[in-house]
Structure 1
Amino acid sequence: MAPARVQQDDTFDYIICGGGTSGCVIAGRLAEDLNATILVLEAGPDSADLENVHMPGGWSNNFDSETDWNIVTEPMKAVNNRQVKLSRGRFLGGSSGVNGTLCIRGTKQDYDDWNLEGWSGEEMWKYMAKAETFHAKDWHKADTNVHGTSGPLHTEPHDLAPISELVKESMIDQGLPYRADMFATGESPHGCGDVTRTVYQGVRSTAADFITKGYRRENITIKTDATVDKVILEKKDGHLTATGIAAIQKDGNRVEYKARKEVVVSAGAYCSPPILMRSGLGPKEELERLDIDCKVDLPGVGKNLQDHVLIFAFYEVNKPNLTNDHLVYHDNAVASTYELYKEKKTGLLSTFPFGVFAYARLDDRLKDVPLWRDAPRQPGRDPMGLLPNQPNVEYWNTELYGGPKQMTDFPVNHQSAFAMCTLLFNQHSRGSVTLKTADPLANPAVDHAYLQDPLDILVMSEACRLGNEIVMQGSATKDLVKGSWPPELTHHTHTTREDWEPVLREHATTCYHPSGTCKMGADDDAEAVLDNRLRVRGVKGLRVADVSVVPRVNNGHTQMVAYGIGEGAAEMIKADAKANA
């Protein structure tokens, strides 16, 4: 039975479909023009009273509930037909309220490689800095030239646990020199350093801050618990034009809102493609299969799905209190830890438990491997398509036991454990997002195709081998490891790529960086959904602005990319409105 239709006469200048990271930034910046009216539609609830959004250590408690999109992949052949849970924030602020709080921009070359006007490395650095207010700490040697000082997003460096200081020493010992602010400057592809976090004084800063708190303006209307079904498209002056949207409220009723100027779809790499497809914008054959009238045949919608494949390899340590396990798993420690947070906004729950980070180039380690040596490559680039100033992989340690939800072997008997996390950049494998049904309340089918390309498995296996060497041979950690955790695992004895390949196929998971499914591109790029100003091909008054627009995901994390895209999109929307006035 179709939901009841509720006619609404509400009309706004701009409608933002999705109150996540980029969407909130765009709404906040457009609202700086007090004569503009903006509607933000968010499928989930308001986040103001969601404690586990604002308390950094409570992040995982937002999952597996109404505050999670609860998307699960299709079975993926190269990882033993496993399905992987793809948790995403479903509330105002979106995944900026559940992510790892990490500000890892990648390198400027990553964005130069997009080769799109308006999105160079220099321009993206400017957009990302605009979003930020950076708070320094005496011990951290920050490069103040790359950090912002006046944005709604508050950031600060992370104070390392003892285990992280030791991992840092081992990284340096194994050839990854320390460069304090390398993840903000984006100038080093090989080394270790500190990572700025979207936390300030114990409270997580999210994209919702751009339209709430001190930035709540009267010209912004926020509608939560409203799932966008489709964009309303009409012929105007001979052009297919976005004139509004249709959404489903929590009570099941259907609502429609009109847009005078533009509709901006900002629902993320998994949810923006379904909105376009339900609107009749996408691969013609796929739409017709679901009896959706194809208004513009855009074969790239839902294609080009990318992520960063991730492995957690845990090690048990033989000394107490180096990790933070004793502050949460041992005895009744979690109660006192929680009380400390409630009273003073300090302690374990005021932080996200990731420690020191590193980038590494692997071409010297792989140069004699036939698959690497003989693989096709572009001039000056390695077989993964990367220049010498771009990293192949990233490492970091956890400061206690914990990670993906399937990790449940908590060290409750006074054991201590930490992980060396290994993350693959610039994977060759590409996945897809497709509609299972035209029902707007149904999740799409997501296939990430993890490790499908042989080069991906080769590079990731070598990366895990190096990560294990850092722990097991590094001067500060080699004598601390009691064994792998849980004890039945044997990661600490894995010394070859062949040792690591079955581990990858059984345990590789997501780093929650889905990207690329509505990509920007040049006019001759048949898979491009958008032009370089984020405008949907064949439609006037419609843009997509979130990490789905990136042609190739950066060699870093995607939080700051989402903020940068939001800032860049807002500037472009304002400029185009002025030009068309």
Structure 2
Amino acid sequence: MVQKVYDYIICGGGTSGCVVAARLAESTDSNILLIEAGPDCKDNENIKMAGGWSKNFDSETDWNLVTPPMQGVDGRQVKLSRGKFLGGSSGVNGTLCIRGTPQDFDDWQIPGWSGDDMFAYMRKVCMASSRPMRKTDLNQSENFHNKEWFQAEEKAHGYDGPLHIEPHDMAPISELMLKSMESQGLPLDHDMFTTGSRSHGCGHVPRTVHKGLRSTGADFVMNDYHRPNIDILVDSLVDKINFDSNKRAVSVDIVSKSGEKSTVQAKKEIVVSSGSYCSPALLMRSGIGAKEELQKLNIECLVDSPGVGKNLLDHLIVFVFYEVSKDGLTNDHLVYHGDAAMQAYLLYKEKKTGILSTFPFGAFAFARLDERLKDEPLWQEAQKTAPEGRDPMGLTKSQPHIEFFTTELYGGPKQYDKYPIDKKSAFAICTELFSPRSKGTVTIKSTDPFENPVVDCNYLADELDLLVLSEGVRFGNEIVMNGAGTKDVVKGSWPADLTHHAFTKREEWIPHIKKEATTCYHAAGTCKMGNDDDPMAVLDAELRVRGVTGLRVADCSIMPSLHGGHTQMPAYGIGEKAADLIKAAA
């Protein structure tokens, strides 16, 4: 039964929001309301079964956001699926724990948010102590379960939290891809994606899966970790936040799925954790945003904050598929051939093992492209105005330009539907662009909370983004076609009527990129924090919304710039950091 007054109200039950609620509830004299727009997730098999991820899209468990046509990708619209249920996108993501590099967070230049700070929060180490982490440390976030073959950096992991993580046992094609990556100049470092210590190399990526079960943000507030001082309200949207005459956030207006309205008060603080698309939308509906934009919608402007909904950043990804000549290298035979799909499902139901028990990504690498780009006129010209010690993308040598990762069978976004059902096998290498210079926007069309925000990612608007991404895709193709592990097993492109496997020039890849590039679901930056001299900063260094009191934002929208990694682990870290800031203020 939802009460009328709480100490803290958390608006959004996704990755960060669940963490904030759980950590605040550790103070037993506080009561917390966690509000989630979507349903509970406890009975959704396609969340705990990592292989069922795509079944949650295009339904009521998906926000079903679609961009307007974007010029940089040939006028295409891109589907931006997001998890709409308790746990949010931690229940539909690729389960990957790729933290980025410490320099990514140092670049924010905000006190308390250094690389050391963020890496510690991503595994939740006691921040009051500078001593090395021990396996006996309590109250961590990560619960890492190693395997005999994985060479873990033990001090980089946590071992006592709700978030269960383990290494991924790879298909043969992935082992071959690691050999190809090594032979093409990317040294093997097993746990580099945890430590963030290497900007050019290949390795394995631990996943938020353990014993066949996906671990999500919801695990922080459910089952063994549920606390009686947390009330969870699902299938309910936060319409807007209300303020008193002193501009202090005091309550939220809520609309249920059926349209029933209610108002709940907060005695201490309200935290917005609705994600990089919906957090700025909620602030705008509440009167915080660019004054001119709010006035057009007849919203009274409480705080003229021009940065709300601006600075949208995301990682672009390009899939390139290849057919292999030998049986059993990929996992296609476990899904597409004969009645394999049913057998895989029955195996999962009975033993929580098999292809559906994990996510079908394989080998991973970070890469710097300095030598490959040094003779490009555009690169040379941009370098003339780059800050000292930085390249044209704004990166130091310690930060990768791109990431490579492979699939262990044919598959990806739903446009990839040329399945190898006739006992053939295929896989993809995916190239992901880090540090995008192109920035997008999030706006709202009305004050209706049921109307999705308008998300324009503005992909590839900056020509340097296209330069780096196209060179990265070219390098990825060379790894597959020339690498020691794969050069003798790849027959050519998949489907066979494509010829991209034979491309040798960067320019040849540009039409494919504009046609195929899509989101990697790493949206960030739309409620960015910043120092006092930044007029576009929505938040201060303690995540407090500028211009009001009693209101913070805690999710990836707070990022001033997008790190070179995946957003899952920073989302957990931001939630942990936000909770500590709130506790300190109390």
**TM bucket, shorter chain:** over 0.9
- The alpha-carbon deviation at position 255 of structure 1 amounts to 1.3
Partner of 2:132: none
Q: Does 2:249 align with 1:225? A: no
Task: Give runs of aligned pairs for residues 261-340 of structure 1, distance below 5 A.
Answer: 261-340=268-347
Residue among 369, 392, 400 paired with 1:383: 392
Partner of 1:145: 155
3-state DSSP of counterpart to 1:461: helix
Measure the CA separation in 2 of the matches of 1:435 and 1:17: 18
Question: How far does the alpha carbon of each residue in 1:389-409 deviate from its partner, in whole angstroms, 9 at most, with x for none?
Answer: 000000011000010111111
Q: Does 2:146 align with 1:154? A: no
AA aligned to 2:51 is G
AA aligned to 1:182 is M
AA aligned to 1:349 is L
Partner of 2:195: 185
Measure the CA separation in 2 of the matches of 1:234 and 1:324: 58
Task: Give runs of aligned pairs for residues 391-430 of structure 1, distance below 5 A.
Answer: 391-430=400-439
Measure the CA separation in 1 of the matches of 2:306 and 2:266: 26
Partner of 2:515: 506
Measure the CA separation in 1 of the matches of 2:497 and 2:262: 54
3-state DSSP of counterpart to 2:75: coil
Measure the CA separation in 2 of the matches of 1:197 and 1:255: 39
Question: Unpaired segments of 5 or more residues in structure 2?
Answer: 125-140
Measure the CA separation in 1 of the matches of 2:158 and 2:190: 17
Residue among 246, 258, 261 paired with 1:254: 261
TM-score by length of structure 2 reads: 0.96
AA aligned to 1:381 is R
Partner of 2:478: 469
Question: How far does the alpha carbon of each residue in 1:278-321 deviate from its partner, in whole angstroms, 9 at most, with x for none?
Answer: 00000111111111111100000000000000000000111111
Partner of 1:109: 103
AA aligned to 1:105 is R
Task: Give runs of aligned pairs for residues 352-363 of structure 1, distance below 5 A.
Answer: 352-363=359-370
Measure the CA separation in 1 of the matches of 2:347 and 2:584: 48
- The alpha-carbon deviation at position 149 of structure 1 amounts to 1.1
Residue among 554, 568, 571 paired with 2:577: 568
Measure the CA separation in 1 of the matches of 2:487 and 2:460: 30
Measure the CA separation in 2 of the matches of 1:390 and 1:79: 26
Task: Give runs of aligned pairs for residues 539-550 of structure 1, distance below 5 A.
Answer: 539-550=548-559
Measure the CA separation in 2 of the matches of 1:197 and 1:382: 31
Partner of 1:371: 378
Measure the CA separation in 2 of the matches of 1:527 and 1:93: 30
Measure the CA separation in 2 of the matches of 1:575 and 1:99: 32
Measure the CA separation in 2 of the matches of 1:9 and 1:71: 32
Question: How far does the alpha carbon of each residue in 1:227-255 deviate from its partner, in whole angstroms, 9 at most, with x for none?
Answer: 111111111xxx31100101110111111
Measure the CA separation in 1 of the matches of 2:50 and 2:10: 27
Measure the CA separation in 1 of the matches of 2:3 and 2:243: 17
TM-score by length of structure 1 reads: 0.97
- The alpha-carbon deviation at position 481 of structure 1 amounts to 1.2
3-state DSSP of counterpart to 1:240: coil
Task: Give runs of aligned pairs for residues 63-78 of structure 1, distance below 5 A.
Answer: 63-78=57-72
Residue among 26, 32, 35 paired with 1:38: 32
- The alpha-carbon deviation at position 117 of structure 1 amounts to 1.0
AA aligned to 1:226 is S
Measure the CA separation in 1 of the matches of 2:446 and 2:69: 18
Measure the CA separation in 2 of the matches of 1:76 and 1:176: 34
AA aligned to 1:185 is T
Partner of 1:347: 354
Measure the CA separation in 2 of the matches of 1:385 and 1:512: 22
Partner of 2:133: none
Partner of 2:118: 124
Tell me which stretches of 4 or more aligned residues in structure 1 moved more than 4 Å: none
Question: How far does the alpha carbon of each residue in 1:394-428 deviate from its partner, in whole angstroms, 9 at most, with x for none?
Answer: 00110000101111111111110000000000010
AA aligned to 1:227 is L
- The alpha-carbon deviation at position 9 of structure 1 amounts to 6.0
Question: Unpaired segments of 5 or more residues in structure 1?
Answer: 1-7
Partner of 2:75: 81
- The alpha-carbon deviation at position 175 of structure 1 amounts to 0.3
Measure the CA separation in 2 of the matches of 1:124 and 1:490: 43
Question: How far does the alpha carbon of each residue in 1:409-461 deviate from its partner, in whole angstroms, 9 at most, with x for none?
Answer: 11111110000000000010000000011110000111001111000000000
AA aligned to 1:293 is E
Q: Does 2:223 align with 1:216? A: no
Measure the CA separation in 1 of the matches of 2:241 and 2:551: 9
3-state DSSP of counterpart to 1:197: coil
Measure the CA separation in 1 of the matches of 2:409 and 2:84: 27
3-state DSSP of counterpart to 2:450: coil
3-state DSSP of counterpart to 1:543: strand
Measure the CA separation in 2 of the matches of 1:367 and 1:260: 57
Measure the CA separation in 1 of the matches of 2:47 and 2:146: 23
Q: Percent identity?
A: 62
Measure the CA separation in 2 of the matches of 1:12 and 1:414: 58
Give the stretch that moved more between structures: 367-376 or 384-393: 367-376
Measure the CA separation in 2 of the matches of 1:222 and 1:491: 50
Question: How far does the alpha carbon of each residue in 1:47-66 deviate from its partner, in whole angstroms, 9 at most, with x for none?
Answer: 00000000010000000000
